[in-house]
Amino acid sequence: MRFLFLNQCFPPDENPTSQLLGDVVAAADGSDLCRVVASERDYANPSRRYPSRRTEGLTEERIAVFGFQRARRMGRLLDYAAFTAGAAVHALRRERPDVILGMSAPPILGALAVAAGRIRGARSVYWVMDLYPDVAIRAEVLKPGGMAARFARRLSAWTLRNADVVVAIGESMAARLSAQGAKRVEVIHNWADGTAIRRIEPGESRFRAEKGWADRFVVLYSGNMGAVHEFETILEAAGQLRDRPEILFVFMGHGVRRSEVEESARHRGLRNVVFHDPVPKARLGDALAAGDLHCVTLRSEMAGVVVPSKLYGILAAGRPVLYLGPAEGEAFDIVKGGCGTHVRIGDAAGLASAVRAYADAAARCREEGIQARRVFEAGFTRERQVRRLWNILRSLDGAEAGQGP
């Protein structure tokens, strides 16, 4: 079968959606012909460019974009527009695929995959990482009753009704997609590389030793600092833990809100909070092992429209999860499985109390970390999820376009 994959990012870009799609394409068998259309620019560092290339079974097409910094909203929109236009040309003019899969970065790619599939007689799959336009509206990027939001809702509804398969990354997201009109929804959870990221004791982390954290209790937030996440409760809790100098909060990553979070920490005079740039993929497992306890955050209004992808790397690393967010969704359900603690947004005292309890109970950290790895191996390995996705894609062989299998 011939597959066309549309996503703004593809390896060697280390954006999470890039890594997921890279794992999928790498698992294609010898009879699959895959073509990937992605941006020529690196997601985090637009000055870095990637060439198109062709290998056995894979054609990788790179679309020229402007390369604006992602902190500027208009620049992001212009890059989205340039990439989408280039992807449309490739989808409509090159060799006809049997299946077209569009991811949700940029959000219009799902609609492009469906439209191109209908025009060319191919099956279409919309792989939803974040549920748009719900995310943009709840993050106050779009006004709920504005013209842009109304258009985005109509386009989303059309895409969901006409896609042969809609792939959700969580059960709560799947329920929302079905309610919005998707006729076939399949759940494929995000995953992590359980070989590259494995459970080791904090003292075995070379990254931890390099940073001088060997004698500290490290509360680690690793990943994107974006509009869907909540940080004020963490910073307030850090302020309440000034009397415990051995407890260190580490924010490791980039994102549109990093400068805001740094400024808030400086304003509060928090000497027990440090910031670190993201590490290369090759060092991720060691860096995750540097934390004794990991934070995952999600704004309350984002339940069911976003699933924190950083959660799966934490589980693979075998660390307890301190989940700050609504009492629903995938992160909440996983934590209830005995591998962490849930705290509601705004409850800084509860968060500080939870951190103290973990810092004073090394055995608890170890037991919940072991359970986290068990949960990972039972349901969120790369091999398991990628195999399930390929089974769905291949089930479309012979199906009438627009009608499902």
Q: Do 72 and 212 have their domain in common?
A: no
Instruction: Give the DSSP letter of residue 399.
Output: P
Phi–psi pair at 384, nearest 5 degrees? -65, -50
What 3-state class would DSSP assign to 331?
helix
Q: Report the predicted TM-score, pTM, of the whole model to 2 decimal places.
A: 0.92
The predicted-structure confidence for 368-403, as pLDDT tens digits, reads as follows: 999 999 999 999 999 999 999 999 999 998 665 554
Instruction: Give the DSSP letter of residue 42.
Output: -
Is 70 exceeded by the pLDDT of residue 314?
yes
Q: Do 46 and 83 have their domain in common?
A: yes
Q: Do 332 and 361 have their domain in common?
A: yes
357: Cβ–Cβ under 8 A, 6 or more apart, which residues? 364
The predicted-structure confidence for 319-368, as pLDDT tens digits, reads as follows: 999 999 999 989 999 999 899 999 999 999 999 999 999 999 999 999 99
Q: Do 98 and 48 have their domain in common?
A: yes
pLDDT at 405: 41
Averaged pLDDT, 287-295: 97
Q: Do 128 and 244 have their domain in common?
A: no
212: Cβ–Cβ under 8 A, 6 or more apart, which residues? none
pLDDT-above-90 percentage for the chain: 84
- Tokens standing for residue 256: 């549109």
Q: How many residues does the chain have?
A: 405
Q: Do 165 and 289 have their domain in common?
A: no
Residue for token pair 């509009």: 227
Residue 135 lies in a domain: yes
The predicted-structure confidence for 32-73, as pLDDT tens digits, reads as follows: 899 999 999 998 888 999 999 998 889 999 998 888 766 577
Q: Do 136 and 92 have their domain in common?
A: yes
**Mean pLDDT across the chain, nearest whole number?**
93
Q: What is the CATH number of the domain that holds 348?
A: 3.40.50.2000
Instruction: Give the DSSP letter of residue 340.
Output: E
Q: Do 99 and 224 have their domain in common?
A: no
Q: Do 213 and 340 have their domain in common?
A: yes
Q: How many domains does the chain have?
A: 2
Q: Do 258 and 357 have their domain in common?
A: yes
pLDDT at 30: 82
What 3-state class would DSSP assign to 274?
strand
Q: Do 268 and 304 have their domain in common?
A: yes
Rounded CA separation 77/81 (Å):
6
Rounded CA separation 405/393 (Å):
10
The predicted-structure confidence for 91-124, as pLDDT tens digits, reads as follows: 998 889 999 999 997 889 999 999 999 999 999 9
378: Cβ–Cβ under 8 A, 6 or more apart, which residues? none
Q: Do 230 and 366 have their domain in common?
A: yes
Task: Report the candidate in 24, 23, 19, 14 with the shortest Cα–Cα distance to residue 390.
Answer: 24
Crossing angle of helices 109-120 and 73-93, in 10° steps, is 10
Crossing angle of helices 232-240 and 258-268, in 10° steps, is 30
Q: Which domain holds residue 269?
A: 202-379
